Amino acid sequence: VFTFIVGIATGLPEIIFNFYLVSLGFDNTIAGQMVTLTRLSGFLFGIPLGFAVDRFGGVRVIQLVGFFNMLTLLLVLNTTDLNQIRLGYFFVGSLFTAQATAILPLLSRVTTPTQRPLIFGVNFALLMATGSVSAIRLSGASLSMAADSAT
């Protein structure tokens, strides 16, 4: 349930954020760059964030991620400078990676060894499903914005 809620909670702001970028005068390629930046930050910081989760604990990391995610999105929404927006979205990607990494030890604590493959599989499937739904909705919204700007 947590993964599903987090997936929806991160997917909806992406869609709204794309509308915000368009309202600032940026095109759909900038929105694509933002998605790339989130993935890049996860790639670059995945292992160090895993060490942080191990050191500070999953619950504390998830609490910090929630706070810093909210703070970062508020700061991003209060700027029109593209470089600051890129930096903020890069940081949001790192926060998402930290959250995805922190949930696994917590799931390990509340499951038996025989339940773990199923629970981890469901967790991953929900993460991918909510990301895919967001991407599809994002593509639909981008196509709609492109059609509206063409008329």
**For 55-103, how does the pLDDT look when each residue is reduced to its tens digit (9 = 90+)?**
998 899 999 998 998 899 889 889 899 999 999 989 988 988 888 888 8
pLDDT band at 106 (very low <50, low <70, confident <90, very high): confident
The mean pLDDT value of the chain amounts to 79
Q: What is the mean pLDDT of residues 114-119?
A: 84
pLDDT at 3: 59
pLDDT band at 22 (very low <50, low <70, confident <90, very high): confident
Closest to 91 in 3D by CA, of 19, 34, 50? 34
Question: Helices (DSSP H) in 24-57: which residue ranges?
Answer: 28-56
- Distance (Å, whole) CA 43 – CA 46: 6
Closest to 3 in 3D by CA, of 94, 103, 98? 103
**pLDDT higher than threshold 80 for residue 12:** no
Q: What is the mean pLDDT of residues 100-129?
A: 81
pLDDT at 2: 58
Task: Specify the DSSP class assigned to residue 111.
Answer: S
pLDDT band at 133 (very low <50, low <70, confident <90, very high): low
Closest to 52 in 3D by CA, of 92, 116, 97? 97
pLDDT in tens, 90-104: 998 898 888 888 888
As given in the structure block, the two tokens for residue 58 are 């999953």
**pLDDT higher than threshold 70 for residue 39:** yes
Show the CA angle centred on residue 86, arms to residues 30 and 102, nearest 5°: 115
pLDDT band at 143 (very low <50, low <70, confident <90, very high): low
pLDDT at 111: 85
